[in-house]
Structure 1
Amino acid sequence: MKMVTTKGIIVLCVLCFVSSVSSIVNTSGGTADGSQAWGYTEVRHGAHLFWWLYKSPYRVEDPSKPWPTILWLQGGPGGSGVGFGNFGEIGPLDVNLKPRNSTWLKMADLLFVDSPVGTGFSYVEDDKLFVKTDVESATDLTTLLKAIYNVNTTLQKSPLYIFAESYGGKFAVTLGLSVLQAIKDGQLKLQLGGVALGDSWISPEDFVLSWGPLLKDVSRIDEVGLNKSNSLALKIKQQLADGQYQAATDSWFDLEGVILDNSGNVDFYNFMSDDGNSPVVAKTKASRHLGKKPYAIISEANGPDLGSVMNGPIREKLKIIPANVTWGGQSDGVFSALESDFMKPRIAEVDELLSKGMNVTVYNGQLDVICATKGTEAWINKLKWDGLETYLKLSRSPLYCGKDESATKGFYRSYRNFAFYWILGAGHFVPVEQPCVSLQMVGSIVNSPNA
């Protein structure tokens, strides 16, 4: 893999961008020009998180607007941010290792982490070390951030924004609270700018209840399919009310089957497509977005398999991946360990972030099914945040691509420290399906000097 140049890879030290780190970081590497750094952090004995940090070539020095850093958290659980988010969505190169014009580096530095441990290039030495809850994952990530930030005064001056996609949203809100506590306790030298939740699995109950009505409204299922879907969704709601989280996960998987059987195999990422036939996704053998089916990777329609890229040229570039570690090799174990936490909601954590004054942004693709806008709006309406009533009464503002107002690309509404973006024409993977308006949105969220 190459960014602009791939020369001068240096192993076992991180140059310029990340200064010498504490003993908790075992191995690290980076490019000779300091534009990239990567490494392993042993967050617990035998549990190793892999991270990759990019310094933006578009950086602008503005005393009134410090240059931000975005931490990207992928879904799954078991989806690789270093792979999917980086090469599939927002990093400097796409899956074909060609430059991406819409990279979010235009607005911020980017930090990708394969989290939880066992995801992507991250690994555990014993299966007992997989995390079993979102909170445990947040604790590991906070340990990683301490190792990276506490020794780097440059990064400490850059506000960090946690961006998440899909199940990553549950990790993001628990991490946000963990980071705030660590900062308060004087254990973490970091400025937290905000949390952004993209098509995020915050309230599983509201999402499963939304699937049938949404797909009926857009003619993907009929009354028979709607009744079957609603019946199983209500069963899940009761299981969640009874605290039967493992049973709810099993029923969720059954509900996906009912939806596929009655919709002509609708694509859970985009109801305008059939499963496996989307023009912007290619299948791999890794874990899917939220579970046990093949994960859809954004790439060119006839592009290479991401697994081959990650275990081939990327592995060769990084140099530090242990011989017995394969990208995505432990992802199934990550999901299995979290099955009992999978269906638990994290609405209360969003409320707590808002009550602490943290900026929270939600954005959703219009065509998504798995984390449908209908479900997202439902859980937002359950917030106990004292600004909700006023927020809901405000009118939305249209969004466009640049100065071209001939086509509406989305809508936006905000009040105090909460904001919502409705992105039209996009499914689950908003940055890929609507790159122009997404980049503008990101610039606004992180208050980038380039926005």
Structure 2
Amino acid sequence: MDEFPEYAIRVRSPEGLCDPTVRQYSGYLDISETKHLFFWFFESRDRPESDPVVLWLNGGPGCSSSTGLLFELGPCNVRDQGKSTEPNPHGWNKQANVLFLDQPVNVGYSYAEGSSDSVSDSITAAKDVHAFLQLFYARFPAYLKSGFHVAAESYGGQYAPNIATRIIKENNDLQSGSQLTPTDKVVIPLSTVIIGNGLTDPLVQFASVPDYACAPSPYAIFDESTCASIRSKVPTCERLQKFCYSNPSRFTCVPATLYCWSSIYGPIQNANKNPYDVRQGCDRQVNPLCYDEMNWIENYLNRDDIRTELGVPSDLKFESCNLDVNRAFQMSGDNMHNSASLIPDILSNGVRLLIYAGEDDFMCNYLGNERWMMALKTEFSDEFQHKAHKYLSRYSLEGGNSTVVKDAPGHVGMVRSAGPGAGNFTFVSLYESGHMVRILL
């Protein structure tokens, strides 16, 4: 492509991995000579020629989307300390073509060849993701015929709105003919932004922590003394966050980052609770991420045979999360940015929004997620604010088709939505689910 003169495409068709029943591709789309983004793509088990493409991104920042692939919503789940996988009958590729991308560079299997190529903010990351998508559709143009959805988790609450904003801008420029030179870029058919347990509006979400984690909340995990301490620090955190919001820069946002994370989230480190699922205990000195499967994923993806089959350099070590990338984002102040401010323009361009949250997640709790949606001024504000919650019933998909059958009494969550049909602005809370909700398509 003329816009990416240094690009290269290195793609394989893995055989016998994860879901051998579908066509899959993996490898690298090199957006420059020194920036190499790894992807693993699985076609739909149902109708790949017409089912939409879903881009899945894990958060961190700095964590590989292989977590979603091998532990959450992918076609298979890692097992036996990483020695094997087993099929996931509820993987999202049951009804969608799913694209798992390791981004930004230096996350997972993605890599950069120079320190100047490192990424430390969501705007730059979004630019790279858009470049990747242009190369992806140039290599696989058949998938342009169906819709495209950006789905992201956790820090994806920052990633996804920025990616959608970049896509919309580029699409509008193409459709208006405002490009100064001829281009072979394509309009990306963005339909929906999906965020699971995301960090999107830190000002609202950090203030929700004591309401979630302290009595009389049913999810209370702190004693009265700890709760009093957290509540006393919320005003200072809010003051710093407001300064960051009004004058976003490294110098205004890093102080909010350092103070708010340590003051509001620091106590969870000593609570012996899994912050991603408060129903579970966790000694974070022993297992910082609280899930054995994270280590199993590293074991699996550091196997020589797996690297070879996926087209990964033999000397590249896989890490589930890159803490250097995480620190770089923190020290740029990126994680205090208000990505919710991007949502109104995304909606006005006809893109739908779905926010879902497992109610047992402490890190990006459901209260904060619904509150920022309630506070946000959009074309759907009045309807959303006055809509009553509806219960979400328990469903399963029967056989290989999309017939929906209620299979058990009771409810699995609550939904509030505004807009026609299934809704343009929708919030779903899910019972008995943590940070890494396994949504069944």
Q: Normalising by the residue count of structure 2, what TM-score does the alignment of the two structures yield?
A: 0.82
Contact 2:31 2:128 in 1 (8 A): yes
The amino acid that maps onto 2:223 is D
Residue aligned with 2:427, SS? strand
The counterpart of 2:357, out of the listed 354, 359, 364, is 364
The counterpart of 1:399, out of the listed 382, 392, 399, is 392
Contact 2:26 2:310 in 1 (8 A): no
> Match for residue 350 of structure 1?
343
Residue aligned with 1:150, SS? helix
Contact 1:149 1:189 in 2 (8 A): no
> Match for residue 11 of structure 1?
none
Pick closer, same or farther for the CA change 1:211–1:329 going to 2, 3 Å. Answer: closer
Deviations 1:17-76 (A, max 9, x none): xxxx99723422113687111121222341211111111222277xxxx41111001110
> Match for residue 408 of structure 1?
411
Aligned counterparts, 1:36-75, within 5 A: 36-59=24-47, 66-75=50-59
Deviations 1:93-129 (A, max 9, x none): 1011111121111120110000111110001112232
Task: Name the CA distance, whole Å, in 2 between partners of 1:322 and 1:365.
Answer: 37
Aligned counterparts, 1:30-429, within 5 A: 30-31=13-14, 35-59=23-47, 66-81=50-65, 83-96=66-79, 97-186=85-174, 187-216=185-214, 217-218=217-218, 219-243=220-244, 244-255=252-263, 256-261=265-270, 264-276=271-283, 294-297=288-291, 299=293, 305-312=296-303, 315-328=306-319, 331-339=322-330, 340-402=333-395, 403-416=406-419, 417-429=424-436
Task: Name the CA distance, whole Å, in 2 between partners of 1:329 and 1:161.
Answer: 24
Residue aligned with 2:46, SS? coil
The amino acid that maps onto 2:394 is C
Task: Name the CA distance, whole Å, in 2 between partners of 1:40 and 1:296.
Answer: 30
Contact 2:64 2:320 in 1 (8 A): no
Pick closer, same or farther for the CA change 1:391–1:329 going to 2, 3 Å. Answer: closer
Task: Name the CA distance, whole Å, in 1 between partners of 2:286 and 2:339.
Answer: 29
Contact 2:44 2:51 in 1 (8 A): no
The amino acid that maps onto 1:103 is G
Contact 2:48 2:96 in 1 (8 A): no
The amino acid that maps onto 2:279 is M
Pick closer, same or farther for the CA change 1:387–1:298 going to 2, 3 Å. Answer: farther
Task: Name the CA distance, whole Å, in 2 between partners of 1:355 and 1:335.
Answer: 32
Greater displacement, 158-167 / 393-402: 393-402
Task: Name the CA distance, whole Å, in 2 between partners of 1:251 and 1:350.
Answer: 27
Task: Name the CA distance, whole Å, in 2 between partners of 1:147 and 1:100.
Answer: 29
Contact 2:200 2:338 in 1 (8 A): yes
Task: Name the CA distance, whole Å, in 1 between partners of 2:14 and 2:257.
Answer: 43
Deviations 1:133-176 (A, max 9, x none): 11100000000000011343311112111111000121111101
Pick closer, same or farther for the CA change 1:316–1:152 going to 2, 3 Å. Answer: closer
Aligned sequence identity (%): 25
Pick closer, same or farther for the CA change 1:188–1:297 going to 2, 3 Å. Answer: farther
Contact 2:6 2:32 in 1 (8 A): no
Greater displacement, 29-38 / 169-178: 29-38
The answer to whether residue 7 in structure 2 is matched with residue 24 in structure 1 is yes
Task: Name the CA distance, whole Å, in 1 between partners of 2:148 and 2:292.
Answer: 26
Pick closer, same or farther for the CA change 1:371–1:298 going to 2, 3 Å. Answer: farther
- Which ranges of structure 2 fall in alignment gaps of 5 or more residues? 80-84, 175-184, 245-251, 396-405
Greater displacement, 112-121 / 34-43: 34-43
Task: Name the CA distance, whole Å, in 1 between partners of 2:193 and 2:320.
Answer: 29
> Match for residue 402 of structure 2?
none
Contact 1:118 1:330 in 2 (8 A): no
The amino acid that maps onto 1:70 is V
Residue aligned with 1:307, SS? helix
> Match for residue 439 of structure 1?
440
Task: Name the CA distance, whole Å, in 1 between partners of 2:269 and 2:210.
Answer: 11
Residue aligned with 1:51, SS? strand
Pick closer, same or farther for the CA change 1:147–1:207 going to 2, 3 Å. Answer: same
Task: Name the CA distance, whole Å, in 1 between partners of 2:186 and 2:73.
Answer: 27
How many residues matched?
Answer: 391
> Match for residue 14 of structure 1?
none
RMSD, aligned α-carbons: 2.5
- Which ranges of structure 1 fall in alignment gaps of 5 or more residues? 1-20, 285-293, 432-437, 441-451
Task: Name the CA distance, whole Å, in 2 between partners of 1:153 and 1:380.
Answer: 35
Q: CA shift at 1:319, angstroms?
A: 4.8
Residue aligned with 2:417, SS? strand
Pick closer, same or farther for the CA change 1:199–1:304 going to 2, 3 Å. Answer: closer
Contact 1:69 1:159 in 2 (8 A): yes
Contact 1:95 1:304 in 2 (8 A): no
Pick closer, same or farther for the CA change 1:60–1:253 going to 2, 3 Å. Answer: closer
Contact 2:394 2:409 in 1 (8 A): no
Greater displacement, 413-422 / 163-172: 413-422
> Match for residue 447 of structure 1?
none
Greater displacement, 99-108 / 139-148: 99-108
Task: Name the CA distance, whole Å, in 2 between partners of 1:157 and 1:183.
Answer: 16
Contact 1:74 1:168 in 2 (8 A): yes
Pick closer, same or farther for the CA change 1:314–1:208 going to 2, 3 Å. Answer: farther
